[in-house]
């Protein structure tokens, strides 16, 4: 029986040493910091639906699903807070485009970049920080 107690004591001591090791604490804080520094996505929900200028007297409409890639997880709250401002900027930009600009793939890419620049411009003006790393159209339907 003394043999079992001796090994049980050694096992307990080993566990105490491992749990008290500061490297374990550093690793968990490093993981939390890595989560804060990684990119994060904020979907603009619901989809953006607006009209654009079409040929003649008719109006066309476009429906777009937008995802905003944030610089880090901390910027997600900033994007959520300014969601209405961001939506308004995108709706205004899309509403000012012609049917040609909406339907053309190269023009659509220019529109995406223009929306991203406008959103970051507004965020800098409102918060002093450029929070959007990338603005992505994940769905783009027009009629």
Segment 28-49 mean pLDDT? 71
68: left (phi > 0), else alpha (psi -120 to 50), else beta?
Answer: beta
Distance between CA atoms of 20 and 36, rounded to whole angstroms? 26
* pLDDT at residue 62 in the model: 95
Torsion of CA 35, 41, 42, 47, to 10 degrees: -160
In a 3-state reduction of DSSP, which class is residue 58?
Answer: coil
45 or 21, higher pLDDT: 45
Tens of pLDDT, residue by residue over 43-66, are 999 999 999 887 777 889 999 999
Confidence of residue 39 (pLDDT cuts 50, 70, 90): confident
Query: Per the structure block, which two tokens stand in for 51?
Result: 């009209």
Distance between CA atoms of 40 and 12, rounded to whole angstroms? 42
Sequence-distant (6+) residues with CB within 8 A of 110 are 101
Confidence of residue 33 (pLDDT cuts 50, 70, 90): very low
In the chain, where do the E strands start and end?
A: 40-53, 59-70, 132-142
* pLDDT at residue 34 in the model: 40
Segment 3-28 mean pLDDT? 54
* pLDDT at residue 38 in the model: 79
Least confident of 1-15, 17-31, 89-103: 17-31
* pLDDT at residue 51 in the model: 93
Tens of pLDDT, residue by residue over 66-117, are 999 998 888 999 999 999 999 999 999 999 999 999 999 999 999 999 999 9
């Amino acid at each position: 029986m003394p043999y079992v107690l001796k090994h049980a004591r050694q096992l307990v001591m080993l566990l105490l040493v491992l749990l008290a090791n500061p490297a374990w604490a550093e690793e968990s804080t490093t993981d939390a910091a890595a989560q804060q520094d990684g990119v994060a996505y904020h979907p603009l929900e619901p989809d953006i639906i607006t009209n654009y200028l079409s040929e003649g007297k008719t109006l066309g409409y476009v429906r777009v699903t937008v995802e905003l890639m944030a610089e880090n997880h901390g910027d997600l709250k900033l994007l959520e807070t300014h969601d209405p401002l961001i939506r308004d900027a995108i709706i205004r930009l899309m509403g000012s485009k012609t049917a040609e600009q909406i339907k053309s793939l190269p023009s659509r890419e220019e529109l995406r970049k223009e929306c991203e620049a406008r959103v970051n411009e507004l965020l800098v003006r409102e918060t002093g920080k450029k929070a959007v790393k990338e603005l992505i159209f994940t769905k783009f339907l027009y009629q």
